[in-house]
Amino acid sequence: MGGADAGFVTTKIEDLLAWARKWSLFQYPFVTACCGMEFMSLNGPRYDGLARFGAEAPRFSPRQSDLLWVVGTVTQRQAPALRRIYEQMADPKYVIAFGTCAATGGFYDNYTTVPGIDKIIPTDVYVPGCPPRPEAVLDGLMLLQQKIQSGTRHPLVVPPKEVPEMVQLRKKGTSVYYGQKKLEAALGETNPVAALNAAFVEDRTGEATAIPAHLKDHRKG
Amino acid sequence: MAYLIKKPARTLSEQVYAVEAAKGLGITFRRLFTNVFGKAEDKKIATIQYPDESRDYPERFRGVHRLTHRVDGSPRCVACLCCSTACPAQCIHIEPAEYGEGDPRHGYERFPRLFVIDELRCIFCGFCVEACPCDAIRMDTGTHVPASWSREHFIFDKETLMSIPGRDGTYVTDNPRHEPGDPTHPGIDRDHHH
């Protein structure tokens, strides 16, 4: 965008383009969950949410759209698809996280749910609510329009959180052993846990511990 | 068992379709012209032009949280951690602290040194309000959490939560509090009744 050295005409053209962009957003609704119902009520006659803001026509091809609505919970298995759809969109492209689940994962504190789409794709606007009111969504849409007009986009990708304790555990291979312990308990081995604990204590300083051979055999049987 | 459905009798104008279609379109276009060019009181538009006009949320709408005040302006919260325990999204973080020496509440109640709600993670279920034994946290503000472009903006601390008034514009609640020393106070333990 035009800086201090940019000419008057250039700046005005950029402003004009931004103005045109913000009033003709072509949306791609990536609707996965219950927030989709509220997305429909937003588009209904009572709020007529997106049509009044020039974003009426949804485009179900990412190539033709420039606003990605992520509406609902995104699971780990959907994450690659979402990422791919985002990458297929042509620049300039914008992302709105609609609802608590898309923004942070909400109360799904488990291994199948992506804790916020900003772990995968840059997110422009977060709309809180479970699901959000249409008013809240329109606030988010107007905020995005302001961002487009001002040209100050801060694409925000939150890096995955590295919990030090978890990294330590993974290095020591305890997660492998936890499953192994359960397996051994099911098989009825003679006190395999003690042997495993001994191996774990010995290998405390080392890299990931290999599974002992005599335990590997049980896995096959 | 089979039975016969009689076809409704149709007039000629209904049969030729064009007349009835014109009638229907007439209603449509009359509404259109009334709504676009008509007088304000004749318009029948269902759409709420949100940023310019809005309607109040329902009375029991669960909006952004607020921490209610005591009469001296301190939070009613006694940092019992009921709300953060009940929260299914685990979006409430409280760090309790003791009142100072000489305070009548010292050794009797705690207060939240930190009270943080991640409003982006909150699912607005209202369990925290139900769990609270002191009527200290409420969601009767009648406003939604505004959207923003950064996760940090949704971390509401104690001061922010205490600065949000209820729908009636006040920071207190109608439920009376019985402070230590008040004649209505039931006593700080079983042996020391007033």
> Do residue A48 and residue B54 have CB atoms under 8 angstroms apart?
no
The structure tokens listed for B178 are: 């019985």
Query: Nearest-CA residue of chain B relative to A41?
Result: B47
b/e code A18-46 from CB counts within 10 Å (16+ = b) = beebbeebbbbbbbbbebbebbebbbeee
Which residue of B87, B91, B117, B151 is the best one to mutate when testing the A interface, meaning the one whose CB has the most A CBs within 10 A?
B151
B118 close contact with A: CB closer than 8 A: yes
Give me chain A's average pLDDT, please. Answer: 75
pLDDT value at position A180?
44
Residues β-bridged to residue B148 = A126
Beta strands in chain A (DSSP E): 27-31, 67-71, 94-98, 125-127
DSSP for A174-197?
A: HHHHHHHHHHHHHHT-SSHHHHHH
Smallest CA–CA distance, residue A68 to chain B, in Å, is 15
A113 close contact with B: CB closer than 8 A: no
B45 close contact with A: CB closer than 8 A: no
> Do residue A136 and residue B146 have CB atoms under 8 angstroms apart?
yes
Query: H or E stretch including B116?
Result: strand B110-118
A150 close contact with B: CB closer than 8 A: no
List of chain A residues whose C-beta atoms are within 8 Å of the C-beta of residue B150: 126, 154, 156
* pLDDT tens track for B52-98: 888 889 999 999 999 999 888 889 999 999 999 999 999 999 999 99
**Burial (CB count within 10 angstroms: exposed 0-12, middle 13-18, buried 19+), residue B69:** middle
List of chain B residues whose C-beta atoms are within 8 Å of the C-beta of residue A137: 147
Mean pLDDT of A87-105: 91
pLDDT value at position A190?
52
C-alpha distances in Å from residue B157, one per residue of A136, B15, B39, B117, B177: 21, 70, 49, 7, 24
**What percent of chain B is predicted at pLDDT more than 70?**
96
pLDDT value at position B131?
95
pLDDT value at position B3?
86
Residue A102 predicted with pLDDT over 90: yes
Query: Nearest-CA residue of chain A relative to B47?
Result: A46
List of chain B residues whose C-beta atoms are within 8 Å of the C-beta of residue A143: 147-149
> Do residue A100 and residue B118 have CB atoms under 8 angstroms apart?
no
List of chain A residues whose C-beta atoms are within 8 Å of the C-beta of residue B151: 103-104, 116, 118, 126, 156, 158
List the domains of chain B with CATH numbers: 19-55 (no CATH), 66-162 (3.30.70.3270)
Smallest CA–CA distance, residue A202 to chain B, in Å, is 37
Helix axes A174-187, A192-202, angle to 10 degrees: 160
pLDDT value at position A2?
46
Residue B167 CA to chain centroid, in angstroms? 9
Is the separation of the CB atoms in B64 and B141 below 8 Å?
yes
Mean pLDDT of A66-80: 93
Give me chain B's average pLDDT, please. Answer: 88
Place of tokens 């994450």: A79
pLDDT value at position B107?
79
B140 close contact with A: CB closer than 8 A: no
- Report, in this order, helix, strand and coil percent for chain B, each rounded to 5: 25, 15, 65
pLDDT value at position B174?
85
Is the separation of the CB atoms in A107 and A14 below 8 Å?
no
* pLDDT tens track for B155-187: 888 988 998 888 888 898 888 888 877 788 776
Cα–Cα distance for residue pair B76/A198, rounded to 1 Å: 52
Question: Which pLDDT band, with edges at 50, 70 and 90, does A80 fall under?
Answer: very high
Cα–Cα distance for residue pair B139/B125, rounded to 1 Å: 10
pLDDT value at position B11?
86
Cα–Cα distance for residue pair A166/B134, rounded to 1 Å: 38
* pLDDT tens track for B12-36: 888 888 999 999 999 999 999 999 9
Q: Closest Cα to residue B174, out of B146, B138, B130, B120?
A: B138
ipTM of the predicted assembly exceeds 0.85: no
pLDDT value at position A160?
44
pLDDT value at position B190?
61
**Nearest beta carbon to residue B47 from set A46, A139, A147:** A46
A104 close contact with B: CB closer than 8 A: yes
**Is the four-CA dihedral A132, A134, A135, A140 of positive or negative sign?**
positive
Query: H or E stretch including B33?
Result: helix B18-37
pLDDT value at position A1?
46
Residue A56 CA to chain centroid, in angstroms? 25
**Nearest beta carbon to residue B149 from set A134, A135, A147:** A147
List of chain B residues whose C-beta atoms are within 8 Å of the C-beta of residue A158: 151
List of chain A residues whose C-beta atoms are within 8 Å of the C-beta of residue B89: 100, 106-107, 109
> For the whole model, what pTM was predicted?
0.74
Residue A179 predicted with pLDDT over 90: no
